[in-house]
Chain A
Amino acid sequence: MRCRSKNKINIAHDSFIALKKQIVLMKKIFTIAMISVLISAGSCKKDSDFLNVPPKSVVTTDVVFSDPALVLSVLGDLYNRVLDFSSLDNGWTTFADFGESFPSDNGQYGFVQNRSWDYGTWGTWDYGYVRDLNLFIDNVTASTKLLAADKSRFLAEGRFLRASYYFEMVKRMGGVPLITQTLTYDNSGNVIGLQFPRSKESDIYDFVISEAEAIKGLLPSDPTEKSRATKAAALAMEARAALYAGSIAKYGATTPQVSLSGGEVGIPSSMASGYYTKALAAAKEIISGSAGSYKLYQVLPNLSDNFAAIFLDKSSVNQESIWVEDFKALAGKVHSFTTNDQPYSVSDEASDAGRLDPSLNLVQSFEKLDNTFAPIATKDGAGNPIYYADQQDPFAGRDARLAGTVMLPHFFWKTAYIDIWGGYLLSNGNIISSDDATHYASLPGSSAQVQVVGKDGPTPTGEPLRTQTGFYVRKYLDPATGSGRRGRQSDVNFIRYRYAEVLLNAAEAAFELGQTSDAALYMNQVRARAGLTHPLTAGDITFDRIVHERRAELSFEGHVLFDMKRWRIATKVWDGNPESLNDLTSNISSATKRNTQPWGLYPYKYYSPGSPNDGKWVFREVLPSPVTGVLNFRLGNYYSQINDGIISANPKIKRQPNQ
Chain B
Amino acid sequence: MKIKFHHIIIFILLLSAAGCKLDNVKPPSVKLSGQLMYKGSPIGVEYNQVPFQLYQTGYKGNTPIGGTFDQDGTYSVLTFNGNYKFTIPGGQGPFQWKELPSGGRDTLNIALNGDQTVNIEVTPYYMIRNAQIAAASGKITANFSIEKVITDASAKNIQTVSLFVNKTQFVSPGDHAAEADLDGGAITDPANVSLNVTIPTFPVTQNYVYARVGIRIAGVEDMIFSPVVKVSY
Is B63 a contact partner of A635 (Cβ separation < 8 A)? Answer: no
B221 within 8 Å of A by Cβ? yes
Q: A261-B103, A658-B91 are in contact. Are A635 and B221 (CB under 8 A)?
A: yes
CB neighbours (8 Å) of B174 from chain A are 115, 576-578, 629-630, 632
Determine the interface band of chain B, counting residues with CB < 8 A from chain A.
10 to 19
Q: A261-B103, A576-B173, A634-B221 are in contact. Are A648 and B61 (CB under 8 A)?
A: yes
* Smallest CB gap from B91: residue in A: A658
How many whole Å from A252's CB to the nearest CB in chain B? Answer: 14
Q: A648-B62, A658-B221 are in contact. Are A257 and B173 (CB under 8 A)?
A: no
Question: When each residue 575-591 of chain A gets 1 if its CB lies under 8 Å from chain B and 0 otherwise, what string results?
Answer: 01110000000000000
A480 within 8 Å of B by Cβ? no
Is B90 a contact partner of A657 (Cβ separation < 8 A)? Answer: yes
How many whole Å from B218's CB to the nearest CB in chain A? Answer: 12
Cα–Cα, bound, A644→B89 (Å): 14
How many whole Å from B227's CB to the nearest CB in chain A? Answer: 21
CB neighbours (8 Å) of B190 from chain A are none
Question: When each residue 616-659 of chain A gets 1 if its CB lies under 8 Å from chain B and 0 otherwise, what string results?
Answer: 00000000000001101011100000001101100100010111
Is A644 a contact partner of B221 (Cβ separation < 8 A)? Answer: no
CB neighbours (8 Å) of B92 from chain A are 636, 658
Is A636 a contact partner of B62 (Cβ separation < 8 A)? Answer: no
How many whole Å from A578's CB to the nearest CB in chain B? Answer: 7
Cα–Cα, bound, A658→B88 (Å): 10
CB neighbours (8 Å) of A647 from chain B are 62
CB neighbours (8 Å) of B91 from chain A are 257, 635-636, 657-658
Is B219 a contact partner of A257 (Cβ separation < 8 A)? Answer: yes
Out of A116, A257, A629, A645, name the residue touching B63 (CB < 8 Å): A645
CB neighbours (8 Å) of B103 from chain A are 261
CB neighbours (8 Å) of A644 from chain B are 61-64
In B90-127, the 8 Å CB interface with A consists of 90-92, 103
CB neighbours (8 Å) of A645 from chain B are 63
CB neighbours (8 Å) of A632 from chain B are 174
Is B90 a contact partner of A115 (Cβ separation < 8 A)? Answer: no
How many whole Å from B107's CB to the nearest CB in chain A? Answer: 14
In B57-71, the 8 Å CB interface with A consists of 61-64
* Smallest CB gap from B181: residue in A: A577
How many whole Å from B179's CB to the nearest CB in chain A? Answer: 8
How many whole Å from B65's CB to the nearest CB in chain A? Answer: 11
CB neighbours (8 Å) of B16 from chain A are none
How many whole Å from B185's CB to the nearest CB in chain A? Answer: 18
Binding site for A on B (CB under 8 A): 48-49, 61-64, 89-92, 103, 173-176, 219, 221
CB pairs A–B below 8 angstroms (21 shown): A115-B48, A257-B219, A577-B174, A578-B176, A629-B174, A630-B174, A632-B174, A634-B49, A634-B221, A644-B61, A644-B63, A645-B63, A647-B62, A648-B62, A655-B89, A657-B90, A658-B90, A658-B91, A658-B92, A659-B89, A659-B90
For the A-B complex with A116-B49, A571-B221, A658-B92 known, give 16 more contacts whose Cβ atoms are closer than 8 Å: A257-B91, A261-B103, A576-B173, A578-B176, A632-B174, A634-B49, A635-B91, A636-B89, A636-B91, A636-B92, A644-B64, A645-B63, A647-B62, A655-B89, A657-B90, A659-B90
